[in-house]
Amino acid sequence: MQNYPSHIAIIMDGNGRWAENKNMPRTYGHKKGVETLKEIVKAFIEFGIPSLTVYAFSTENWKRPPKEVKYLMSLFSRTIENEAEELNQQDVEINIIGRRNSLDERILKNIEWIEELTENNNKLELNIAFNYGGRAEIIDAVKTIMNKPNLDVEDLNQELISDNLYNPKISNIEYIIRTGGDRRISNFLLWESAYAELYFTDTYWPDFSKSDLKKALEEFTNRKRKFGALDNGDDI
């Protein structure tokens, strides 16, 4: 296998604009986006990349029109119900990260079901960020830490915060891919992506294909990651 990153995060942007360009409702784009994700999951397995985290619904997405939010909630639940068995057969472990206290009972039950169903799978770790925000995750981690007994301020360090994120076993992000043309990370995985490489493409998510993924991976292999250090011969 080539020198691919072991953990990639994808901001799956452009579903609504893709649909509008086709004179279709935005919901049509979201539905097509699920189909694209299924194909990209297969590509990750084929390429031997062990971890994928995708941005499905942010804490800021509640500001969208109520009709669209309602559809996205329903789509999320239906996708779990319809795809869980196939993902399990593909040996994919599913983790849902994000705030759960504002989600309805159907969604919560589906989350618990698919996580339990796939918890022993190991071909691909698929983390789905749903009702997720990077700042919210850090705030929630700090609140959890503050409730620990006999904690001294000197005990606070990077490891302690990492251990209290939504899913502490998720590894740091090496590469963030964003589709849809925007050049920002939009409050996604702020802690986990401190040294992530960034890749932006104008391709809308519903059109993002295995070949687009391969192109992004090839660019990653040509980058030099220094993590703040200097190569021999570099100037200070």
**Residue 100: exposed, middle, or buried by beta-carbon count in 10 A (0-12, 13-18, 19+)?**
middle
Report the candidate in 105, 176, 80 with the shortest Cα–Cα distance to residue 134. Answer: 176
Instruction: For residue 177, give every residue at least 6 positions away whose Cβ sits within 8 Å of its Cβ, in sequence order, or none.
Output: 8, 9, 10, 11, 199, 200, 201, 213, 216
Report the candidate in 134, 168, 123 with the shortest Cα–Cα distance to residue 55. Answer: 134
> Is 20:26 a contact under the CB 8 Å cutoff?
yes
DSSP assigned state of 172: P
Please name the helix (run of DSSP H) or strand (run of DSSP E) that holds residue 206, with its range, or none.
none
Please name the helix (run of DSSP H) or strand (run of DSSP E) that holds residue 112, with its range, or none.
helix 105-118
Catalytic residues: 13, 61
DSSP assigned state of 157: -
Q: Which two tokens stand for residue 152?
A: 């001294």
